[in-house]
Structure 1
Amino acid sequence: MAFHSILFETPQDGPKRDDALEPDFFGDLNLDQIVSAVTLGRNNYNLKPFFYAELSREEAIAYRHEVMQDLDNADVLDSIEAFAQGMRKVREYLAQAEKLYYRLQKTWWFMEAVAVYGETLLNFDRALPAASPRSKGLRGFQLYLAGYVASERFRLLIHEAAEIRRRLSAIRYCVRIKGSAVTVQDYDGEADYSAEVLGIFERFKQSAVKDHRVELRDWLEMNHVEAHVLDFVAQLHPQVFTEAVTFCSNHANYLDATIQTFDREVQFYLAYRDYIGVCKAAGLNFCYPRVSSGSKAVHGNETFDLALAHKLVTEHRQVVCNDFRLDGEERLIVVSGPNNGGKTTFARLFGQLHYLAKVGCPIPGRSAALFLYDRLFTHFEHEENTKDLRGELQDDLMRVHQIVANASSRSVVIMNEIFSSTTLTDALFLSKKIIGEILERGALCVCVTFIDELANLGAQAVSMASEIKPGDPASRTYRVRRRAADGRAYAASIAEHYGLSYDRLKERLGL
C-alpha cells in the first residue's frame, strides 16, 4: 500500500524544499526559543524545517492532531519509541562501518546493522497493530509496514544476512604465536590452555592479595596484527567471506525510503510531546484547538505563553493564564495597562497559539477556537540600527507599510507599542490610520499600546487591560482581562520615560 507521510496528509501539504527558512516573526513571538528547545538533542533528524512549514488545510491539521492523540496511548507510544531506538542503533552501526578502516571489519558491522534493521521492523510490525492506533496516519503506515515486512525483498534481505552471519559465527580457528611469527589455522579440537594455566596459578594463592592484572579493552578498531589474522581466516574460508562482501555490495542501499522518512518525521511528534510534558507535569493544560478557515470568532481559555511558561516551570515559579475572545464583527484586541503587566506576553501568546495550531500541535490552554490565517505579521519594537541612517519613527513606518501592503482579510497582525518614539498626538493619528487599514481588510489584530483611545474605534475593537493588585498599584497580577481602559497607562509611560515617576523622583531627590 502506498503511504506518503506521517506529517503531511498529501504531498501538496508539505514544504517545497527541506531547507525552509525560519519565518520573520519567530523572534518577536519567541517561537525561535520554542523550536530550538523542542529540537534540542535531535539534530540528526533535522526537525526545524517541519516547524517552519505551516499547513493550509483544516484536514491537514486534523491529520496531525489524530497522530498526536494516538501517542497518548502508552502502547502506541512505546512501540514507536522502540522502533526509533532500533533505527538509531542501525544508523550508529552503519556510521561505525563507515569510520572503520579494514574492509572485512566494515563488512561485519554492515551486516550487524542489517540484522538490527530486520529485528526492529519485525518487532514494530507486531507491536503497532496490537496497540490499535486510530489515526489515519498511523493506520496507513501500519498497512505499509505490514506489506513491506511481508515482501520478498525484505524477507530475502533478512534471511541472507542471517545465514551469512550464522556461518561466520560458526568459524573456529587457532592462532599460534612463536616469536614474531603468527600462524592461523583451522580449529581441530585443540585444547584451550587458558583454563589450565589459571588452574595452575590458583594453587599458589594463599590469601587475598593485590590484583596486578591489567584490563585488556575490546577496542572497536583493529590493529594491523588483528587485521592480518582476519585476512588469514578469510583465506581459510573464502566462500563465506566472499558472500559477505558481495552481500554488502549488493544491498548498500537496503534502507527503505518510506521507513526512513517515517523514522525522521515521527520525531516531530515525540520532540514536541517531550517539550510540553514539562508543563503538563506542572498542571498546565494543553488542548487540540478547533481551527477554522471560515470563522474569525476566536477564543482561548486558560492560555499562556509557552516559551515563558517552560522557563518558569523549570524554575518552579507560577504561570499566569489568560482568556480572550472575539465574537461577531470583533476583529481587534487593544491591550493597555501599566508597564511590566503582561501586555507583551499576551500579544505573544495570541500569535504563538495561532502558529502552533497551524502546524498541527496541541496548544497551551484548556480550550480554544482559532482562525486558519494565510499570513502572520508582527511589529515589535526593535533596537535602532545606526547603520541604516533611519530614525526609529521612519523605521516603524517602513515596517508597518510592509504589513499593510501585504496583509489580507485572512491575515493575523500582532503589533506591540508602535510609534512609541513620537508624540501622543502623532502616535494616535498614525495608529488610527494603520489600524483602520488593517480593520478595513478584515484581518485579526492584537495591538499593545499606551493609547487608550484606540480601544474606541468602533464595534470591531475590544479593550483588554493588564491588572494590578487592588490597593497596590506597584504590584502586577499579569492577568489581562476584557474591560475598558482606565486612562492611566500613557501618563505612567510618559512619566517613566522622562524620569518623573514617583520612584525616580524619590531617587533623584534622595528621599
Structure 2
Amino acid sequence: MAYFSLFYENPEQEETAKKQSQKQVYYRAKQKIQKKTYFVGSRMMVKEEAVDSSENLPSFFQDLNLDAIFLPWYDGAIPENIKELLFSFPHDTSIIAYRQEIYQDLEKPAVYLGFTEFRKGFTEAERLLNYRLQSDNPLQKGKYYLDAAILYYQTIKGLYYILKEHAVSTALTTLVPILAAYLERKDYYEFCLHAEDLKFKLEAIYCTLSIDGNVVKVSFQQSTEDYFGTVQKVFREGETGIPSISLFNQPVLNQFEGRLMSLVEKEYPKLCKEVLSFAAVSQPLVDEILMRLYRESDFYLSGHSLTERLKEKGFKLTYPEVQKQGTVNLQGICDIKLALTAGKAKEIALNNLLLQEDSQGAFITGVNQGGKTTFARSVGQTIYLGMLGMPVIANKAKLCHFDGIYTHFTVEENQLVNNGKLLEELHHLKEILMSAPDNCLYILNEMFSSTTAADTYELTNLLLPQMFQKSGTVLCVTHVPELARRRDKMTSLIASVREEDGYKRTYKIEPGEAVLSARAIDIALKYHLSGEQIKERMANGD
C-alpha cells in the first residue's frame, strides 16, 4: 500500500516523530486544593486536600497555554494519533514547508469547501455503517450499506475533482492520483452504479397510510407523495403542539417501522432479495489511506478555522521563514490565548524579538505584572506553531530551526510528591537536561523564586551553561537583574513602563539594561496595600 500523510513526507519521518513524542517531559503532578465536607456529630467540618489535577500533556504544552488552543478542537481530549504530531518537532525544515503548502492551499475557498464537504460526507457514511452494525433488520442493514457506499464514492469523487483543479501543494497533488486510482479500481464504478440503481428503486416505493380508528391500512401504489409526507401531515408539530415523528433514521426499528418493513419485503420480494445479495458481498468501502486522510484533515481544517478567527479580529498572520540556522526575528507577535479573547487586535500589545545567529538567548526582567511571562509564552507559541507549519500572528517571522521546546514555569509547592518547592524544581530541570536533544528552545520562568536572590543567581549560573553546551537557546524570565548584566551573548530585555504616568505598564518588552527595582510598590499602591495605607486603614479600624 502506498504511503500518504498530510503530516509527513515519508514513513521514516513519522517513525522519528513517534519516538520523539514519547520522550517529552511531564510534570510529575500538579495539585489543586479540593474542599471536602464531613460531619462530626452534628457539626459539619471542612477539610482541604491536595489532589492531582495534571493532564497527560507535556509540561511545555501546558506552560505555553497550548492546551487552551488545541483541546477545544478535540472536545477536551487529544486523539492518540494526533499526539505524535503535537508533541514532536520536525527534524527537517522540508516537513515544515510540506505543511505550510497545505495551509496555503486551504486558503483557496474551493479547496477549503472541498475538504469540508469531504469530511461531512465521510462522517455521515461512517454513521450509516455504524447504524448497519447496530441494526437487527436485514433489509435496513442493506439500505444503510447502499447509502454509505454511494456517499463514499460521491465524497471521494468530489474531493478528487477539486484537488485536481486547484491544489498545488506537494501533499495534495500527490493525493490526486491516489484518489484517481481509488475511483478507477476494477469494477468499482459498476459497483457504485448498481448501488445507486438499487437505492433509486427502494426510494421509489410509495405507500398510502389510511388510519381508521386503531387500524392503519397500508397500500402500495405509485403516488406523487411518499408515505413520509402522509404520516408527517398527521403527526406534524404545529399549532396543535403534537410532536412530529421521524422514520427509519435510527439503528433499531420501532414496532411500527418493523411491521412496515415486513410489508415492503412481502410486496417487493425480488428487489429486497437483490438488495440483500448486494449487501452480503460487503466490499470494503474505504482503505487506511482514506481513513488517515479523514483523521488528519481535521487538524488542518481546525487550524484554518483558528487563523480565520484571528484574521477577523484584525491580526496579521504570516508564514514563518524557517532556516536550519540563522537569526530569530519576530515582529508584531502576541499571546494567542489573549488574541482569541480580545475584541479587536488593537486591544493587544504586540512585541518583537531579535536574536542574532550567535546569540544564546535573552534575559527578561523588569516591573512586576509588566507582561514578561506573557511575552515568553507568545515567543514559545509562535515558534511552536511555526514548526507545525501554521501561519502565526506576526508582521514578520524569521526562525532558525529548533528540535524541541522545553519549559520550566514556577509552580506552587506540591504536597502530592512530598518534596519542597525547590527540590521539585530541581527534579524537573534535571529531567529536562536529560531528555532534551541538541538545538532546543528553553523557556524558563521565574526559577528558584522560593530561594534568596543570591541563591537564584548561583543556581541559574550553574544551569545555563549545561543548556548552552547542547546548543540551546534560552529565554529566561527572572526577578534577579544581576543575571542580565553579567552574561555575554545574552540579550537583555525589559518590561517597559511610562514613568510620567506613575510607572504605568505598557506590556511592551524592549531591549534595555536591567533595572534593580521591579516596582512592586506600584501594585501595592493600586490595591491600597502599601505600608502607609495599611497603617492608615488599621488606625481607622477598616
Verify same fold: TM over 0.5: yes
> What is aligned with 2:330?
300
| Alignment partner, residue 219 of structure 1 | 247
Q: Does 1:138 pair with 2:172?
A: yes
What do the CA deviations read for 1:157-209 (whole angstroms, capped 9, x no partner)? Answer: 2112112223334456788999999887875x8999x9xxxxxxxxxxxxxxx
- Equivalent residue number for residue 429 of structure 1: 458
Q: Which runs of 5+ in 2 are unaligned?
A: 23-55, 228-237, 538-542
Partner of residue 506, structure 1: 532
Q: Is the 8 A contact 1:86 1:116 kept in 2?
A: yes
Q: Note the alpha carbon deviations across 1:71-129, whole angstroms, 9 max, x for none.
A: 11122222222222222222233334344442322321221222222222223333332
Q: Deviations over 1:310-353 (max 9, x none)?
A: 12248x87111110111132112000001110100111122212
**Closer, same or farther in 2 for the Cα pair 1:337/1:182, shift >3 Å?**
closer
Measured after TM superposition, the shift of residue 263 of structure 1 is 1.9
| Residues 103-122 of structure 1 mapped to structure 2, 5 A cutoff | 103-122=138-157
Structure 1 counterpart of 2:295, from 253, 257, 264: 264
Match of 1:393, as an amino acid? L
Q: With the length of structure 2 as denominator, give the TM-score of the two structures.
A: 0.80
Q: Contact 1:35–1:48 (CA<8 Å) still a contact in 2? A: no
Instruction: Supply the distance in 2 between the matched residues of 1:429 and 1:39 (Cα, whole angstroms).
Output: 43
1:480 equivalenced with 2:480 (yes/no): no
Alignment partner, residue 370 of structure 1: 399
In the other structure, the counterpart of 1:11 is 11
Confirm or deny: 8 A CA contact 1:286 1:362 kept in the other structure: yes
> Aligned match of 2:188 in 154, 169, 172?
154
One-letter amino acid of the counterpart of residue 532, structure 2? K
Per-residue CA shift, 1:34-77, capped at 9, x if unaligned?
11134349989975554334322111111000010111112222
1:233 is matched with 264
Match of 2:50 in 1: none
User: Is 1:470 equivalent to 2:499 in the alignment?
Assistant: yes
Provide the residue aligned with 1:22 in structure 2: 57
- Are 1:53 and 1:359, in contact at CA under 8 Å, matched by a contact in 2? no
Conserved 8 A contact 1:3-1:144: no
Amino acid at match of 2:530: R
2:357 partner letter: G
1:66 and 1:170 map into 2 onto residues whose CA distance is 46
Residue type of the alignment partner of 2:277? T
Check whether the contact 1:7–1:266 (CA below 8 A) recurs between aligned residues.
no
**Structure 2: how far apart are the matches of 1:362 and 1:42?**
24
1:146 Cα offset (Å): 1.9
Residue 252 of structure 1, CA deviation: 5.5
Paired-residue identity, %: 26
Q: Give the Cα separation in 1 of the matches to 2:387 and 2:420.
A: 35
* Cα RMSD for the two superposed structures: 3.5
Give the Cα–Cα distance (whole angstroms) in 2 for the partners of residues 291 and 363 of structure 1.
Answer: 13
- Counterpart code for 1:91: E
Counterpart in the other structure of 1:203: none
8 A contact 1:381–1:416 mirrored in 2: yes
Q: Aligned with 1:344: secondary structure?
A: helix
Paired position in structure 1 for 2:427: 398
With over 3 angstroms needed to count, the CA separation of the structure-2 counterparts of 1:55 and 1:212, relative to structure 1, is closer
CA distance in 1: counterparts of 2:438 and 2:386, whole angstroms? 19
| Length, aligned pairs only | 488
Aligned equivalents of 2:244, 2:454: Cα separation in 1: 82
If you compute each CA radius of gyration, which structure gives the higher value, 1 or 2? 1
Q: Distance in 2 between matches of 1:191 and 1:342?
A: 69
- How far apart are the structure 1 equivalents of 2:20 and 2:265? 44
Cα pair 1:301 1:323 within 8 Å, conserved: yes
